[in-house]
Amino acid sequence: MHKSTLQTSCLFALSATLGLSSLAQAATPVFINEIHYDNTGTDVGEAIEVAGAAGTNLVGWTLVLYNGNGGASYDTRSLSGTLSDQSGSGYGTTSVSYPSNTLQNGSPDGVALVDSTGRVVQFLSYEGAFTASNGPAAGMTSVDIGVDQSSATPTGMSLQLKGSGNQYEHFTWHTASASSFGNPNTGQSFAASSGNPPLSNCGQAATPIGSIQGSGAVSPFEGSIHHVEAVVTADFRGSSNLNGFFVQQIQGDADPASSEGLFVQSSALIRVGDNIHIIGRVDETFGMTRLVDVSRVDVCASGLALPTEVDVQLPFDGQANNAEFWEGMRVRLPQALIVNENFNLGRFGEFVVSSTRRFSPTQVAAPGLAAIDMADANRLDRLVIDDGSNQQNPDPITYPQPNGLSTSNTLRGGDSVTGATGILAFDFGAFRLQPTESLAFNHTHPRPPAPAADSRASLKVVSFNVLNYFNGNGSGGGFPTARGASNVQEFNRQRDKIIAAITAMNADIVGLMEIENDGYAASSAIADLVNGLNQAAGRTAYAFINPGASRIGSDEIAVGFIYQPAKARPLGAAALLDRTVDSRFDDNKNRPVLAQTFVDRVSNKTLTVAVNHLKSKGSACDDVNDPDTGDGQGNCNLTRTRAAEAMTTWLASDPTRQNSSHTLIIGDLNSYAQEDPIDVLKAGGYENLLETRIGNQIAYSFVFQGAAGYLDYALVNAATVAQVKAVNLWPVNADEPRTLDYNTEFKTPAQITGFYAPDPYRSSDHDPILVHLFVPGDLDGDGDVDDLDAGVFRSQLGRCTNRAGFNREADYDGSGCVQFADYRIWYAHYQAYLTQDTPR
């Protein structure tokens, strides 16, 4: 395919117009030749020497000293005069002396040699490399000379270049040499060059970037050496950045399917706006075309206007709107972008945006072709916003700008971003924007407070995954455990966040998932959680259900119940569903189901709650012939489906033997809303409250790979539907960056403190569900209190437990008989219902 290029004659004309001084060469003919910065005692004789061809006019040249701690400049000295021939071969030196203790002593520090046009000719450092934050070298990463001095260095010594040649690249740095400032170094000889120093390659034949990129996913020139001439559009040099820069052809080809941008892996001294000529090898690394093993970079011109950004828009479509077409180019996304994932914000400084909130395929689409199509659509509507760095665990974390991440300045899923401008790159399996301008962040999905109690309902039940709550040996030791916190410090941080979340919800009954399966003794995890809640409340507010077993199943984690005895009373013993009850329930994979019947102390209604945690999608189930079939439901779908079948049968058998007409299934079913296990439960007569009360395209409790959905459920049987007055998802976890959780790994000491708050936010990775139910006084079960309920009560007057038709709910005082004392309680409920002010 033919690609157009700039004509050589035009480039020579440009060079002539700008003058020879605007040309730079890969070779460095004027260079820093000798340095002394540290010695025993007071640092004396500090100096820097510059060498070059005799006749070089140094008027206007400067030496700028830089502090590696922060990268700021701290001293500037001017050079002057013309270099004389000190070697007999046409080369000479000049030096600048500094007062004692002027040059800072490294770890690291550096110096920039700047020519009369303001261009940095060299940016060298000792005792390490760093990036300059201001001055002529701003944004540049220094080159460590590899030798150093210390406070034990004798006076009169210096670091020197030795060898033979006529440019910097021909010599090597040496230490422990007697100072020779103002003269060629001992062991250094200058060889006369043949004729004039070579001019740059500017204007010579070059391969168009469009040809290198090609119209496919891989360059047709991979592995071969090519010349490229283009404008620097973005500078990400340095090991803490991307180790290179991007270039783009000003004048592209006529093929819209070939990109005009390219990443150059090089630390060459360039600036954005430079037109440069590069020689390097074409390579495909992590899916992006780049130029590596760069042997020469020539700056042909400076200060050029950059190519206009290409307006692109999410979602991509893989056709005319194909991200591959703009790989390495300047782009702008004019739309508001929605944050869909922040999982790696703390780890790699990146987050994921889309055109809208994206949902897990089987949350909204049927498994199979529809879900596969949805997954494809999700992939096309996904862009990583990166921070221009390869650094892991950055500190500070840039986003959200301008102030960066903190506990009070979070970046939540659902927030929006505008002004996205930068380079479209592909790395680590994803298209990503490397911004070149600041982004505008809009907190369009702020942190919500805990949902208020619904005044119509008397009982609040919560489903909450407590993210591997393991308390060691219960006495501050025993860490690390199989899961959860690595040490007691982390555990206390986790504990405080979980307690804050549960306290804020003020639930009457809480079904727990991922509590340590270590029994119910005083040292157990569930006892520890209850103790912490009671300490926070300043009273004995909570208790836990002990099902009468030392452990529930064989997994490291279990389900459990805690409750407020003042609000709810356990009725009878708890029941467990495992494979001994129904062979369809594989408790080698799923955690056994725990069911308990409670009496709501206000409404006097009973409720059987079953808390679950089925096998995850990422678990291995090949051993039970239940692999991922590729329909979108993941591994272990049959295992979860059979468990749902067993649970439906089991609950219909009244496992707690309390004859309660109300049943609520809660917990982590590890299935999205359109998947087989949920279909089984719905077919068994259960209503999915998140689906009917909130909606599958709105509700979510979990985010995975940038897609939202809910794995956590609240389902009720038909008799309970009218009793449900409100359902809430409290989005305190799934939308928050994981770096704000209790963990201390991958954080600096400042982040361990600064990124933590003992609040509910990111207390877990799942959001809790709150179900508000029961209308006190509603004896006929239709969800209100009226004359029909009065009629039911009258029919109960005088009946006792030993009489047929006795309604336990009408016996409000628990005397065993329905009497006028119970009527007074019922009538108070009736009056409260009329004013929607349920006594709590």
SS3 sequence of 362-423: HHHCCCCHHHHHHHHHHHHCCEEECCCCCCCCCCCCCCCCCCCCECCECCCCCCEEECEEEE
Q: Which DSSP state fits 783?
A: S
How many angstroms separate the CA atoms of 48 and 34, rounded?
6
Compute the CA torsion angle 98, 99, 100, 105 (nearest 10 deg): -40
**CA-closest candidate to residue 98, choices 129, 128, 74:** 74
Query: Omega of the bond prior to 448 within 30 degrees of 0, cis?
Result: no
Domain with CATH 3.60.10.10 in the chain: 459-773
Q: What is the mean pLDDT of residues 569-590?
A: 98
Q: Where are the beta strands (DSSP E) in 12-90?
A: 31-36, 47-53, 62-67, 73-78
Query: Within 13 A of 319's CA, how many CA atoms are on the CB side?
Result: 1
- Identify the pLDDT of residue 27: 64
Residue 776 burial (C-beta neighbours within 10 Å; 0-12, 13-18, 19+) = buried
DSSP secondary structure letters along 581-633? T-TTS-TTTSEEEEEEEEEETTT--EEEEEEEEPPPTTS--GGGT----SSSS
pLDDT tens string 812-835:
999 999 999 999 999 999 999 998
Reported as a pLDDT band with limits 50, 70 and 90, residue 837 is: low
Residue 97 has pLDDT above 80, yes or no: yes
How many angstroms separate the CA atoms of 302 and 835, rounded?
77
- Identify the pLDDT of residue 141: 81
- Identify the pLDDT of residue 21: 29
The pair of three-digit structure tokens given for residue 803, joined into one six-digit string: 């009489």
Q: Where are the beta strands (DSSP E) in 438-553?
A: 440-442, 459-469, 509-516, 543-544
Residue 247 has pLDDT above 80, yes or no: yes
Residue 839 has pLDDT above 60, yes or no: no
As a whole-number percent, the residues of the chain with pLDDT over 70 amount to 95
Residue 84 has pLDDT above 90, yes or no: yes
How many angstroms separate the CA atoms of 272 and 307, rounded?
11
> Of 2.40.50, 2.60.120, 3.20.20, 3.30.1490, which CATH number belongs to 209-308?
2.40.50
Instruction: Enumerate residues 6+ apart whose C-beta is below 8 A from 150.
Output: 38
Residue 319 burial (C-beta neighbours within 10 Å; 0-12, 13-18, 19+) = exposed
Q: Is the domain defined by 459-773 classed in CATH 3.90.950.20?
A: no
- Identify the pLDDT of residue 4: 30
- Identify the pLDDT of residue 665: 99
Contact 277/229 with Cβ under 8 angstroms? yes
Reported as a pLDDT band with limits 50, 70 and 90, residue 1 is: very low
**CA-closest candidate to residue 599, choices 608, 591, 590:** 608
Residue 175 has pLDDT above 60, yes or no: yes
The CATH architecture that domain 323-442 belongs to is Beta Barrel (2.40)
Contact 323/633 with Cβ under 8 angstroms? no
Reported as a pLDDT band with limits 50, 70 and 90, residue 302 is: very high
Strand 383-385 to 430-435 pairing = parallel
Q: Which DSSP state fits 720?
A: H
As a whole-number percent, the residues of the chain with pLDDT over 90 amount to 86
Domain with CATH 2.40.50 in the chain: 209-308, 323-442
pLDDT tens string 696-724:
999 999 999 999 999 999 999 999 999 99
- Identify the pLDDT of residue 687: 99
Contact 235/139 with Cβ under 8 angstroms? yes
Contact 20/115 with Cβ under 8 angstroms? no
Edge-to-edge strand ranges of the sheet holding 543-544? 543-544, 557-563, 509-516, 459-469, 769-773, 724-729
How many angstroms separate the CA atoms of 790 and 793, rounded?
5
**CA-closest candidate to residue 141, choices 149, 150, 132:** 132
Residue 189 burial (C-beta neighbours within 10 Å; 0-12, 13-18, 19+) = middle
Element (DSSP H or E) covering residue 229: strand 225-236
pLDDT tens string 765-816:
999 999 999 999 999 999 999 999 999 999 999 999 988 899 999 999 999 9
- Of 240-254, 348-362, 516-530, 586-600, least confident by mean pLDDT is 240-254
How many angstroms separate the CA atoms of 609 and 666, rounded?
7
DSSP secondary structure letters along 450-472? PPPPPTT-SEEEEEEEEEEE--T
- Identify the pLDDT of residue 106: 82
Higher pLDDT, 13 or 809: 809
Strand, coil or helix: what is 8?
A: helix
State residue 8 phi and psi, 5-degree precision. -55, -40
Residue 197 has pLDDT above 70, yes or no: no
- Identify the pLDDT of residue 204: 87
Residue 396 has pLDDT above 90, yes or no: yes
Residue 745 has pLDDT above 60, yes or no: yes
The pair of three-digit structure tokens given for residue 320, joined into one six-digit string: 């005319």
**CA-closest candidate to residue 468, choices 446, 455, 486:** 486
Amino acid at position 182, single letter: G
Q: What is the mean pLDDT of residues 575-594?
A: 98
Which parts of 177-322 fold into alpha helices (H)? Answer: 209-213
Total Cβ atoms within 10 A of residue 7: 10
Compute the CA torsion angle 740, 745, 749, 750 (nearest 10 deg): -20
pLDDT tens string 499-517:
999 999 999 999 999 999 9
pLDDT tens string 432-452:
999 999 999 999 999 999 999
- Identify the pLDDT of residue 28: 80
Cα torsion angle, 430, 431, 436, 439, sign = negative
Number of residues assigned to the chain: 840
How many angstroms separate the CA atoms of 168 and 499, rounded?
64
How many angstroms separate the CA atoms of 313 and 324, rounded?
13
pLDDT tens string 42-74:
999 999 999 999 999 999 999 999 999 999 999
Strand, coil or helix: what is 93?
A: strand
Strand, coil or helix: what is 114?
A: strand
Contact 775/785 with Cβ under 8 angstroms? yes
Write down the mean pLDDT value for the chain: 93
- Identify the pLDDT of residue 349: 98
- Identify the pLDDT of residue 5: 32
Residue 198 has pLDDT above 60, yes or no: no
Q: What is the mean pLDDT of residues 563-579?
A: 98
Amino acid at position 126, single letter: Y
- Identify the pLDDT of residue 234: 98
Reported as a pLDDT band with limits 50, 70 and 90, residue 405 is: very high
The pair of three-digit structure tokens given for residue 696, joined into one six-digit string: 């599958």
Contact 758/808 with Cβ under 8 angstroms? no
